[in-house]
Amino acid sequence: MREKLEFIGLNKRNYFIHSHSPLQTNRETIIFFNPMFDEKKRVQKFQCETARALCRLGYTVIRFDYYGTGDSGGDTFEFDFSTVYSDFSYLIDHIKNTFSPEGIILFGIRLGADLALMNSISEPTIKHLILVEPIIDGKRYLLELRMRKKLFYNLNKIQSNKEQLLIQEQKFEDFQGYPMSFENLAYLEKMNLSDSNIIDKSVTIFKTNSISNKKLVVKFKEKIEIKKSSSVNIHYVDCPEFWAALESVDTSTLTQQIITFISNN
């Protein structure tokens, strides 16, 4: 297995890309979509272990940071959902030119699952998606984030928490150090995976017992399958440690179930 970390210019923006290339490729490429906010840090080890395990199966695995996040260019406040969509086609072109894959699978975690699914709509060649703990309802996710922010301030005894930030004369809402523009907040308010118009895709969801809210995932499956445009399978995984604590957790159960599923399909 060979791993390469590089910066690539896509649509005039600097992107950090981490590629995992197998010694013997099966000509399939899996693109990882990160979660956002502090959830990105929490899944770092899980992502790394899963990417390497998939690579050992023969998949080329691509991990990247959205513009304004992680190692990619741009300040944190420059992250924009519309940029994720506008630059995805450039990323796909880069992957096709570099790895010549016969198939591309999108692998998204939490909010990354939503971004993977929405991006797949404009790419009919993408037939399969693997979503780990997807956010089904953006409005509800915002409510969770706002409650978490208050709980975080309370737990850490932070008194003067500013609800709004002013950066370059633009208003942002602060989420424990991650500023979100009002355009991004409006996008999240409207986002609902159950309303997405996905056609001819096979969606596999991995739902752990570390985060509640199983009903929304089941409703998503029902709504998509009523349209008969795509199939949705849900795998429930006993992995309560998934979010337990930063990188010191054992998420091997979840990785193993994903590997077993991919090996058998």
Partner 1 sequence: MINIFKKKEIVISTNESFEQIKQLVTTILGDDTQQIDLKLDTKFEDIGFDSIKFINLLLGLEDLIDIDLETIAAEIDPASIQTLNDVVQLLDKLKKH
Q: Shortest gap between Cβ of 230 and partner 1 (angstroms)?
A: 27
Q: Shortest gap between Cβ of 187 and partner 1 (angstroms)?
A: 20
The amino acid sitting at 128 is H
Q: Which is nearer to partner 1, 21 or 257 (CB)?
A: 257
Q: Shortest gap between Cβ of 243 and partner 1 (angstroms)?
A: 5
Q: Which is nearer to partner 1, 97 or 212 (CB)?
A: 212
Q: Which is nearer to partner 1, 23 or 155 (CB)?
A: 155
Where do contacts with partner 1 occur on this chain (CB under 8 A)?
Answer: 38, 42, 140, 143-144, 147-155, 176, 209-214, 240-241, 243-245
| Integer angstrom CA distances of residue 139 from 37, 121, 167, 228 | 16, 21, 24, 26
Q: Shortest gap between Cβ of 97 and partner 1 (angstroms)?
A: 39
Q: Which is nearer to partner 1, 29 or 208 (CB)?
A: 208
Query: Residue-wise over 95-134: b if at least 16 C-beta within 10 A, else e?
Result: beebbebeebbbbbbbbbbbbbbbbbeeeeebebbbbbbb
Q: Shortest gap between Cβ of 144 and partner 1 (angstroms)?
A: 6
CA atoms of 28 and 99, how far apart (whole Å): 9
The amino acid sitting at 5 is L
Q: Shortest gap between Cβ of 151 and partner 1 (angstroms)?
A: 4
Q: Which is nearer to partner 1, 67 or 141 (CB)?
A: 141
Q: Which is nearer to partner 1, 30 or 111 (CB)?
A: 111
